[in-house]
Amino acid sequence: LAKTTQPISMDSYEGQEVNITCSHNNIATNDYITWYQQFPSQGPRFIIQGYKTKVTNEVASLFIPADRKSSTLSLPRVSLSDTAVYYCLVALINDYKLSFGAGTTVTVRA
């Protein structure tokens, strides 16, 4: 499994865009990048997954440069309810053994 590095914590304010960058220098050709969100007292929730370029859904956007050695999760116009831990994972599409790491704690303030 490719090792990932992401900031331990980030602070933001309501209405701002939050960008979390994850480094994965050893990503393999067939690896995908997946992000999960975890609220206190809940299990992680799948947010978005991508292989290259840009992926967007109703929750977030995922930007992946051509070399794929990093990726950026973008949360548009955050609200207080976006306060959570965000995990970046790199693995094969069918790899069932997820490696979460410590994640990035995002705190949104009023």
Q: Which of 26, 98, 107, 109 binds other proteins (CB under 8 A)?
A: 98
Is 15:62 a contact under the CB 8 Å cutoff? no
92 binds other proteins (CB under 8 A): no
**Spatial distance between the Cα atoms of 60 and 77, rounded to a whole number of angstroms:** 10
Q: For residues 18 and 91, which CB has a smaller minimum distance to other proteins in the complex? A: 91
Number of residues that bind other proteins (CB under 8 A): 19
In whole angstroms, the minimum distance from the beta carbon of 107 to other proteins comes to 15
Piece of 21-29, 58-66, 70-78, 97-105 that binds other proteins (CB under 8 A): 97-105
What residues contact residue 94 under an 8 Å CB cut-off, 6+ apart? none
Is 53:61 a contact under the CB 8 Å cutoff? no
> Quick one: the chain helix, strand, coil %, rounded to 5?
5, 50, 45
110 binds other proteins (CB under 8 A): no
Binding to other proteins (CB under 8 A) within 30-89 occurs at 34, 36, 41-46, 49, 85, 87
**Spatial distance between the Cα atoms of 45 and 86, rounded to a whole number of angstroms:** 9
Contact footprint for other proteins (CB under 8 A)? 34, 36, 41-46, 49, 85, 87, 96-103
